[in-house]
Amino acid sequence: MTINNEKAPASATNTHEGNNESDSSSNTVDTTPTLRMIRGGKSNGIHHFPYAGGTMDRNDSIALYVTIDDLYRGYEQGRFVLSEADVKAHDEESRAERRKEEERKQAARRREEREEQERLVIEKITGVWVGADDLQLELLAARRRGEDVTKWLDALVAIDDMDLKAAGLTQWGESE
């Protein structure tokens, strides 16, 4: 299979409209049947389709379409070409999806590291292993029980100091 250098269609309507018409600057007509890629989104991993007597996960394949005329010509010629523009678009989409997935993983790692730092600070100050989200609840519960809430307030201030440091500030309301 060879790569065709023609551009991708502007719409999903008749993609081969005019492909068999001769160019005014050339006496030759390109009759090479062209396969187009269908980029219809990702599968959820459950959908399969029959293929060669078995099934194939839609994520492990690329759907192609061809006009009936191109199908017959390709069968007669014994070859088809794949649209280069479609291949480039598919490659770029794949790269962009991999970049997004890596960014999501990095953001999740940063959140986990931040939450662990917060828990360590809170545990060091209060002696109790709780997350920052539960800190206010613990403060309120201690107040309602009539206990000293200083350690919970100190933990809240420590978390706020971490936020200030991460923002590069010494107090809220500053602007650089």
Number of domains forming the structure of the chain = 2
pTM for this prediction: 0.50
Answer whether 19's CB lies under 8 Å from 30's CB.
yes
Compute the residue count for the chain: 176
Question: Distance between CA 70 and CA 67 in Å, rounded?
Answer: 5
What is residue 78's predicted lDDT score, i.e. its pLDDT?
78
Buried b (16+ CB within 10 A) or exposed e, 142-170: beeeeeebebbeebbebbeeeeeeeeeee
Question: Do 85 and 51 share a structural domain?
Answer: yes
SS3 87: helix
What is residue 141's predicted lDDT score, i.e. its pLDDT?
92
Unique residue bearing structure tokens 């081969």? 16
Q: Mind spelling out the 3-state secondary structure of 3-18?
A: EECCCCCCCCCCCCCC
Question: Distance between CA 86 and CA 92 in Å, rounded?
Answer: 10
> How much is the mean pLDDT over the chain?
75
In a domain, 102, yes or no: no
CB contact set of 130 (below 8 Å; sequence gap of 6+): 119, 122, 123, 138
Answer whether 40's CB lies under 8 Å from 118's CB.
no
In a domain, 101, yes or no: no
- Given 96, 119, 138, the domain boundary residue is 96
What H or E segment, with its residue span, contains residue 83? strand 81-83
In a domain, 27, yes or no: yes
Q: Mind spelling out the 3-state secondary structure of 111-159?
A: HHHHHHHHHHHHHHHHCCCCCHHHHHHHHHHHHHCCCCCHHHHHHHHHH
What is residue 168's predicted lDDT score, i.e. its pLDDT?
86
Percent of the chain with pLDDT over 90: 25
- Given 96, 123, 149, the domain boundary residue is 96
Q: What average pLDDT does this structure show over 42-66?
A: 61
Q: Which domain holds residue 47?
A: 2-8+16-96
Separation of CA 166 from chain center: 27
**What's the pLDDT tens digit per position in 76-115?**
887 777 777 877 887 888 899 899 999 999 999 999 999 9
> Which of 23, 31, 20, 38 lies closest to 79 in space, CA to CA?
31
**What's the pLDDT tens digit per position in 145-166?**
999 999 999 999 999 999 888 8
Question: Do 76 and 42 share a structural domain?
Answer: yes
